[in-house]
Chains A and B, each alone.
Chain A
């Protein structure tokens, strides 16, 4: 519908009759469009975060790091964005969905083309809700804060496990929760390592083991994928691996990365704990 045609309709008095589907449809689309705007605003926000992460890498490169400061600032920012997504966009979209539902029912659309359009709009809002949910979850999983590392990992693994990639997760000795910042850092490190497996490894199995015993937590993440040559230095230039090392160093732990082409990849992490 173009602006001229809207103007033309506006001249007709009956346009303002509430029973006229056009005005209600218009309202519906305005709601939808504003929702789309909000989502793209958030996308912009996310890009900003990526940029922040880029900046971070620079800082690390210059060896001027105060790792603790960077990590807590990063986590705080993630938590803020997840919160914004949940409390802002998420709730708006949900309310939009409910309003559209009511609106379309009141309209009693008879033209199949119109009801198809209505269904499409609702499906799009549904999809947006799902997107927001996924993004907010990746930013800061609710379950990590509320239920702890073991549950959050279980949840994460459930989401990525598929017929093509069998993921096994073994957790032992983690009946009690670890310190909050340790849980956050370990979650991020595992998330990043597993994302690398999904992105680069083309593996068919992935084994994650997390064990706590006498004064330490050990984590091994092992895939049977294509592997890479750890000897070639430029391979290590990625932000992901660097971030892993920085975060683990912050916890005074060590990272062992063992991989060679064709032989899969192992990332082993040891963190001392009290």
Chain B
């Protein structure tokens, strides 16, 4: 029995800790050696208590789970950290990964998932809840897609007007928008086509058969 993995839980909501205790107590191979309701407290306790896995909430008042993870990862590099949160936005997950987590699960978790997460992380692997992985993949995919900028219908219409040598005022009147908005369109068009002048822009447009 001496190889029990020691778990410590931090969450500002005691009822979540109680719920986790109920479940984890029935999972073989793990024992909960303590819990507390704030990140500051956790840092104090961790200096005195030997812990293998830290389960931490992400949003907590005063010191967040992100900051706690950074500090623990640096001061106690042997402790594996699993984030436990209501939310799983890609950006927050990414920040937690940067901070040093080995896993991320959502709070409406159950025994099966906890078993998998704890075992994987105890073995030195990572575990991310399926919903989290999906979010991450989506943001990754979109990030790649947006690499090639497409011109909008209006922008193409404006390029046609530029081709006919219309000035901003004329374009504004034709499209019922202000001249400043035409100016915004122009800037967006030049940025997307990576051109600097009207000549360059028209060349770009002809080459790609945009107009």
Contacts and interface: CB of A to CB of B under 8 A. Distances in A.
Interface of A: 86-87, 90-99, 101-102, 105, 122, 125-126, 129-130, 132-133, 136-137, 141-143, 146-147, 151-152, 154-155, 157-158, 161, 168-170, 172, 205, 207, 209, 211, 213, 218, 220, 222, 224, 230, 254, 256, 258, 264, 266, 268, 270
A213 B187 contact: yes
Interface stretch (B47-55, B102-110, B196-204): B102-110
A256 B181 CA distance: 7
B157 to A, nearest CB: 10
B19 interface: yes
24 contacts: A91-B13, A95-B13, A95-B15, A95-B19, A96-B19, A97-B107, A98-B16, A98-B20, A129-B86, A133-B86, A133-B87, A136-B86, A152-B91, A158-B139, A168-B145, A169-B146, A205-B152, A207-B152, A211-B187, A254-B178, A256-B178, A258-B177, A268-B181, A270-B184
Given A211-B184, A266-B181, 10 more contacts: A97-B109, A133-B87, A152-B91, A158-B135, A168-B149, A170-B146, A205-B152, A218-B184, A254-B178, A258-B177
Interface of B is mostly: helix
B150 interface: yes
Contacts of B177: 256, 258, 266, 268
Contacts of B154: 222, 264, 266
Contact of B180 (A87, A170, A224, A270): A270
Contacts of A158: 90, 135, 138-139, 142
CB-based closest 5 A-B pairs:
A98-B19, A94-B107, A129-B108, A95-B15, A102-B22
A224 B153 contact: yes
Q: Which of A91, A96, A126 is most buried by chain B, counting CB atoms within 10 A of its CB? A: A91
A94 B16 contact: yes
Nearest to A126: B108
Interface string B88-127: 0111100100000000001111110000000000000000
B18 A270 contact: no
A136 B142 CA distance: 24
A98 B86 contact: no
Contacts of B195: none
A218 B23 CA distance: 51
A152 B89 CA distance: 9
A104 to B, nearest CB: 10
B26 interface: yes
Contacts of A86: 59, 86-87
Interface residues of B, number: 47
A96 B107 CA distance: 10
Nearest to B131: A130
B89 to A, nearest CB: 5
A90 B86 contact: yes
Contacts of B152: 205, 207, 222, 224
Contacts of A151: 91
Nearest to A268: B181
A266 B91 CA distance: 29
A93 B15 CA distance: 10
B87 A102 contact: no
A230 B16 CA distance: 52
A142 B107 CA distance: 16
A172 B191 contact: yes
Contacts of B86: 86, 90-91, 94, 129, 132-133, 136
